[in-house]
Amino acid sequence: MDRETFWKIGASYGAAAVALGAFGAHGLKRHINDPARIANWNTAAHYQLIHAVVVLVAGDHPVAASLLTAGMTMFSGSIYALTLDPARFRFMGPITPLGGLLMIAGWVTLAFSKSGNATRAMRL
């Protein structure tokens, strides 16, 4: 994928994180009374928002951006599903740490990549 595609992915994931965070803060509390599940939802939205911004900046590093995108999809997505219906989505439990590992791999990939393109992207 190219930088423009990762820009669109990052922006879309960022918008979705804000919407899902708002839903967690306002609408979800009407359906779920367990504060731990609400906190899990908030963690998923928080991680999604942070990594969406990183995907915007890391678009010139396709391996890192791909790892971050896959990781946030698996990490946050599995937490959202498990928060909504833990029994139905129980099988997704092992996906959460795998998503976390992919996000870590994305960060490590960025650490060992050339920084010139990322620095240029941050000036945009």
71-104 confidence digits (pLDDT tens): 999 999 999 999 999 999 999 999 999 999 999 9
What is the C-alpha separation between 106 and 57, in angstroms, rounded?
Answer: 12
Which domain, by its residues, includes 67?
Answer: 3-122
pLDDT at 81: 98
Residue 119's pLDDT band (cuts 50, 70, 90): low
Cβ(67)–Cβ(123) below 8 Å: no
User: Domains in the chain: how many in total?
Assistant: 1
Secondary structure percentages of the chain, helix, strand, coil, to 5: 80, 0, 20
104-116 mean pLDDT: 90
Provide the whole-model pTM. Answer: 0.89
2-23 mean pLDDT: 97
What is the C-alpha separation between 101 and 90, in angstroms, rounded?
Answer: 19
Question: Is residue 120 predicted with pLDDT exceeding 60?
Answer: no
pLDDT at 32: 95
